[in-house]
Structure 1
């Protein structure tokens, strides 16, 4: 979709076939420039009006907050909390809701969740006596089955948390429909969505989703590392306690050390020094993606997946390789080569063909209950081409070369 030279990593590594975008997206030059610009032209810590650069830094952060809000269909930018990433955002949600849970209350998740959307709920459940239960997955898509929610939701269900798209199978859950079904059963159930794997691949409009929380990271959408988003309905954010305490998130502290007053939302959740260079880069990434158009990106990546599936069938690769998600249009191929250790395959692809794929559990520790404990994953971005896919699939046909990297010199 784009000239690879727009991405310095690809420009400086011209033979690299980067198929690990589900782990992190590469950064275009304009995003890197925005981050560096702050460091070399401003450099100030925000949240003071004592000097000009600090004022500019504060204004930039609030402008970025509004840019993010517009991008996901949020009308009140103060509902956008800037965090260090999806993991921090989900931990804040889980611990912020902890006080609402009683022994026997239920939290519903899936076995395909990233550990960041699994462990926080497990820990909170253990600390409160709440119970973790599974949402039912469709046997074909491995997505949340909206028509079996009434089989698992009870009058004890308090929270439902799941990924818009998982980082392994990638099926795009119909959040609008699932949320409608949940609220029809019990309007008081809290719905939290992990959008880390979908935010860069399709439009998200929270005006059409009756959910309570959303989390994602900048580095998943061609932005910098170290910054992310927690969106929540204002009513929830106002009553939730912060997970982290420190500078910038209180209005006053009494001199007897007994009481304090927190800052308003979102600032009460943004303790400590923020990351202005990354936030400026994040704003540039969102602006850039908006100009391209999320519908256009979704269409391009859908065509890539359709092409990959067609080529896999043309080459007859399903006889040699177990593919787990050819029946959806997610920009991910998850697979295992029959009879081969995935680490050997990944090392071969890298050393012999300069193809970067991910191998392992993908921080989703319970996938073995659904399809496989470990797998190889090739994930696409807007810089991925059909030629990249051809190189990957051709390399996978040469199983007689998989061990050459250990016994022969790689050329």
Structure 2
């Protein structure tokens, strides 16, 4: 269904914070040969071109497995695999070079296309590739000589940075070269992972045949921290495309702050993942040194100490210890070295499918570290799981922050009736509302 002009304008405005956040950042985008053969692939390329025009530094890494298999089949040669790794003899290497060269030309042609009435009209995109990946042989393993199958030895960071600084998109194929002039067949996930690590990329984005990472119950995991996904993986509670999952975990372990997995079948998934609050797939994050969890009765004293200065300034309504003890299970806290440095509460009005975000506070020594955003995201998850459709907040001094998080100002009349009856007109708090999108 087409968006109305008003909806399009609202969507464009809501994407502005993400446009600013992504400008100048380095993203590695990884996809296999299967994605290239998908009917949606030209639209993916259009979205990649859009990212380039918005100032994102892009490294594209493509695979070629099905295309190599096809060329071997046409030559009446068998594909040889051991432990899931292709054995690359001389004949297979010729198919690898043929497939990789053909796909590189295809991707470059799509990125160059600027037909009138197309999303890329007027764009002038330079695509650079070459001997930017130094490789070494995989060697003999368990008695099997993998011949010209290799591993990434080094990424030419300076060469790639030079191209990126010129505004070019860097395109890496699943091949590498040795100082002695040999050519090696590489896995595209190895190239993408090592490129993301060496370039200190801000993100690695993997394109999968699935929507992302799922738990054992079939629920899409929108956001998951590294330690949790490794724990769930060890318990076999994770369902995801292995290639993507391996690249995501290895990249984040090595210092890449965010790894995404999206579906290459879905039109616009890349843009939705990067420019909307809910995204389109799964996001793996580095572990937080600080712990975010539901509050317990032992946290009452720490919360009281945290919110006392804000109560005294009038920013927060005063809460007694007795009230806080009775409502402690409604609170979410961030704890650092045993000290509560941030908190927020969710009061539910289930008959109105609505919840109140209240008592949002961050210790003055720890402001500016996205802790408020982490708390809000956790509250949103709890609200959605509870079947709520909206979250509202009453505030006297932090209106701008809530506007930046996607809340919209509304009136007292929009509040649930039970809350409306308790509204304190003396405080004259502003009312902000956030609509929730279900997972």
TM-score scaled to structure 2, two decimals? 0.27
Q: Which is bigger in relative contact order (C-alpha 8 A, separation at least 6)?
A: 1
Of the two, which has the highest radius of gyration? 2
**How does the TM-score come out when normalised to structure 1?**
0.29
- Structure having the higher strand fraction is 2
